[in-house]
Amino acid sequence: MAPDYHTLLLAIGLAGFCLSATLFASWMSARVERFLLSWAIGIGCIVPAVGVYSLYIDGVNVAVGCLAFLLQFLGFSFIYGAAYRFRSGNTARLRIVTLFLACSAVALPLLIAGYDGLGFIALNLLLVGCLTATAWEYWRARQEAPLPLTGIVILYLLTAFSFLLCAGVLIHDGKWVMGHAPENWAENLNLIAAIMGITGIGAMSLALNQWRVAGSHQRAAMTDPLTGLLNRRALFDRYGDMPVRENGAAIAFDLDNFKSVNDRHGHAAGDAVLTAFADILRDACGASACIARLGGEEFIVVLDRTLPDRAQRIAERIREDFASKLIPIGGRSITCTVSAGIAFGNEEGVSFDSLLSNADKALYMSKRNGRNRVSLAA
């Protein structure tokens, strides 16, 4: 092999080592996105694979070649697992192990049997498959961050194409048995593509991780931690400056005698009641409504496009479903009720503060009239 080839291998090793260390450090600082850890492990396997392959180039040895193959398959299996975890959020251990074993079972017997040319053809084609599957996982997730994910897909496919060229040259030349490492223009191009792919994909992966961490912090700031509903800040950020027209409505809810639930059964029971009511709100309102917990036992549902009759039906359904709900507390079940008040926008438009104030007035009317009922604002 020419010295330039060894220089390219060294460049890949150094770039991969630095990137793996950076990715691992980024994951350690937050430990939010485990796909970054899988990616770091994958690159961490490819770095020693490059070193072992350099030894194979200097002196052909079947055991050294098998080790280089195994490390590459393990690295690219982890990289695929990182993409799958990024898209789905599920653990990828089974997929990583299955891909690694399948690739090893196909390529290693050829190398051991003395058909090293066929072994390298299989290696390149299998890595094409791993990289293409990885690109496909990111492509399926592209709606989350279209620009960087499309860039990652392109880099993976370009790297896969370079491996395909390596296999194509060997097939074209009929190199079934070589007795040495492959040496042709496609191998040099493959190393250049790998350097570009490692650095480019690594930089974009870091950017995606930071984007996700920032999004996680923002969601935490805008979400009620107990129920998973929006909090007061998020509600007013969405509606605070918007006039509410006649097709808009707000339904205010307040759990009846909630303090007695905490006093009699404990705060864990109170949390269970709040969570059960939040689930009923989601089931009754669907995706068309904005649901928030204002604090304590107070909730609000905002309907942007609705008729008065529909708003009343939703409020009554929530009231009835919650009254009939058996909420398990320890070894027993309890029931609770809720009061509601509904206010509507008008043709001229009312401020959101005024809408909520009117809904609160209707809610307190329900409280005064005996609780467990729905009232309309004047």
Do residues 173 and 98 both lie within one domain?
yes
Sign, CA dihedral 347-353-354-355, equals positive
pLDDT of residue 1: 46
CATH code of the domain containing 164 = 1.20.1070
pLDDT of residue 342: 94
* 3-state secondary structure (DSSP) of residue 246: coil
pLDDT of 188 higher than 90:
no
Q: For 255, list phi and psi in degrees, rounded to 5.
A: -70, 135
Do residues 146 and 62 both lie within one domain?
yes
Do residues 252 and 327 both lie within one domain?
yes
226 in a structural domain = no
pLDDT of residue 304: 84
Do residues 214 and 82 both lie within one domain?
yes
Burial of 39 (0-12, 13-18, 19+ CB in 10 A): buried
375 contacts 341 by C-beta, under 8 angstroms: yes
Q: How far apart are CA 345 and CA 200, in angstroms?
A: 52
Do residues 41 and 163 both lie within one domain?
yes
Q: How many CA atoms lie within 13 A of 89 on its CB side?
A: 2
pLDDT of residue 13: 65
Last residue of a domain, one of 166, 193, 221: 221
pLDDT of 106 higher than 90:
yes
205 CB-near residues (< 8 Å, 6+ apart): 23, 36, 39, 82, 152
* Model confidence pLDDT, tens digit, residues 289-313: 899 999 889 999 999 888 888 899 9
Do residues 196 and 317 both lie within one domain?
no
DSSP 8-state code for residue 321: H
DSSP 8-state code for residue 125: H
Q: How far apart are CA 128 and CA 120, in angstroms?
A: 12
Do residues 197 and 236 both lie within one domain?
no
Do residues 212 and 346 both lie within one domain?
no
Cα of first residue to Cα of last residue in the chain, in angstroms, is 88
Q: Two tokens at 157?
A: 């496919």
pLDDT of residue 28: 64
* Model confidence pLDDT, tens digit, residues 324-344: 999 998 778 899 999 999 999
238 in a structural domain = yes
Q: For 93, list phi and psi in degrees, rounded to 5.
A: -60, -45
pLDDT-derived band at 59 (thresholds 50, 70, 90) equals confident
329 φ/ψ sector (left φ>0, alpha ψ -120 to 50, else beta): beta
For range 52-65, the mean pLDDT: 86
227 in a structural domain = no
Q: Two tokens at 23?
A: 């990715």
Give me the chain's average pLDDT, please.
86
Do residues 203 and 285 both lie within one domain?
no
Last residue of a domain, one of 221, 255, 287: 221
* Model confidence pLDDT, tens digit, residues 7-43: 666 666 666 666 666 666 666 655 556 777 888 888 8
Number of domains in the chain: 2
Do residues 65 and 208 both lie within one domain?
yes
CATH code of the domain containing 266 = 3.30.70.270
Assessment of whether the complete model's pTM goes beyond 0.75: no
| Residue-number span of the structural domain to which 199 is assigned | 3-221
Last residue of a domain, one of 200, 221, 242: 221
Q: Flag the least confident range among 57-61, 131-135, 137-141.
A: 57-61
32 in a structural domain = yes
Do residues 162 and 302 both lie within one domain?
no
